[in-house]
Amino acid sequence: MERPLTQHITYPPLGLRQYEAVGGYQAARKAIRHMAPADVTAAVKESNMKGRGGAGFSTGMKWSFVPMDVPGPKYLVANADEMEPGTFKDRWLLEGNPHQLIEGMIVAAYAIQATESFVFLRYAYKQAAHEIRKAIAEAYAAGYLGENILGSGYNLQMHLHTGVGRYMCGEETALLNSLEGKRATPRSKPPFPQVSGLFGRPTIVNNVETLSYLPHIINRGAAWFQSLSLTSDGGTKIYGVSGRVNKPGAWELPMGVTMRELIEEHAGGMRPGYRFRGVLPGGASTDFLVEEHMDVAMDFAGVAAAGSRLGTGTMVVLDDKTCPVGFVHNLEHFFAQESCGFCTPCREGLPWTEKLLRALELGEGREGDLALLDTHAMMLGPGNTFCALAPGAMEPLQSALKYFRGDFEQHIREKKCPYHEYD
């Protein structure tokens, strides 16, 4: 019998006065009262902070694409639609320190001179919704949101929008369509949201973790933020580990810590009776890494050089008593359900992939199925679909076929899943 997971003590989030007592909203004051919008963007660009939503693009560079001389409204959107399987870092921030997110949004909105902002929240995050709604009300009452913020003449409205519960809404243009009340399908790019986003206006969409770092960069400076990292990617990162480890959880650590340190030290290593076989390093839509990659630096360049992506930095560990075929089948079932159906390869290819994997698990696999799966991994890869959903879905599959092919072949040869004895 497996032991229960450790019960962690949870604490209520910081209220407005508690947040102010530890320096909260000082960055908003500094930015709005003492910095030009371009100076805020320059500081973030100099910090070399890359977006923490998975793409890893320079945050300051992304802001710099917003046309500042165009009349009319601009928008800022916090992407809190955290539906990537295995990813839970944003929930930690939303429920633990919502005012930090709000202050980061104020800083970002001021930098691009947005006058309207939205927190686009995953529908299932009920506690987060409660805390954010409360924190926004407190920020309005204290004069950090609304008209003439801090007597500066700058105006910013902020709204909480609860999503409809689709994984596709995490893609920024599909998110914007959903926010406009449309079907959550991705848009063709260009134009990019920085030029034509929400309601056709210049828009920046940033991840919750990205926005939460901004107050600290403005308060302490770009050089300080860079100094926290072990690599060229600036700052710290919230890493997470789930699976059969002794201490699953999330930790804020210097960018570039090794996978070995995360799994063996912070997550406490594998639980008794289990061995490490592989890991998805950045959530469900990343390629497996295996034992030979344990000393890889967990930054954008390091993980990419090993053949995967840092993604969200939340690792899902595969152990030796969990079937890799079943593991991947579970993921492909999710991705097939979450396809928006806009383009044919994704709409038809993902259910076909899921069907092949289900047959393998049921002992109904046939010779030639692995060749078909290889073909799907190629045909649904980058450049063959309208957005990145299907290519992301293929990453765990193609890498599982590479590293655990013997397990797939055994399912066909023995006409059963050999791991059911561990269930």
376 in helix, strand or coil? Answer: helix
pLDDT above 90 covers what percent of the chain?
94
Structural domains in the chain plus CATH codes: 16-227 (3.40.50.11540), 236-319 (3.10.20.600), 324-422 (1.20.1440.230)
CA 30 to chain centre: 29
Res 422 pLDDT > 70? no
pTM of the model: 0.93
pLDDT in tens, 123-177: 999 999 999 999 999 999 999 999 999 999 999 999 999 998 899 999 999 999 9
pLDDT at 164: 86
pLDDT in tens, 235-265: 999 999 999 999 999 999 999 999 999 999 9
Rounded to whole angstroms, the Cα distance separating 238 from 248 reads 13
Rounded to whole angstroms, the Cα distance separating 15 from 20 reads 9
Owner of token pair 């060749």? 371
**Taking a C-beta distance cutoff of 8 angstroms, is the pair 114, 206 a contact?**
no
CA dihedral 41, 57, 139, 11 (to 10 degrees): -140
The two structure tokens encoding residue 249: 């959880």
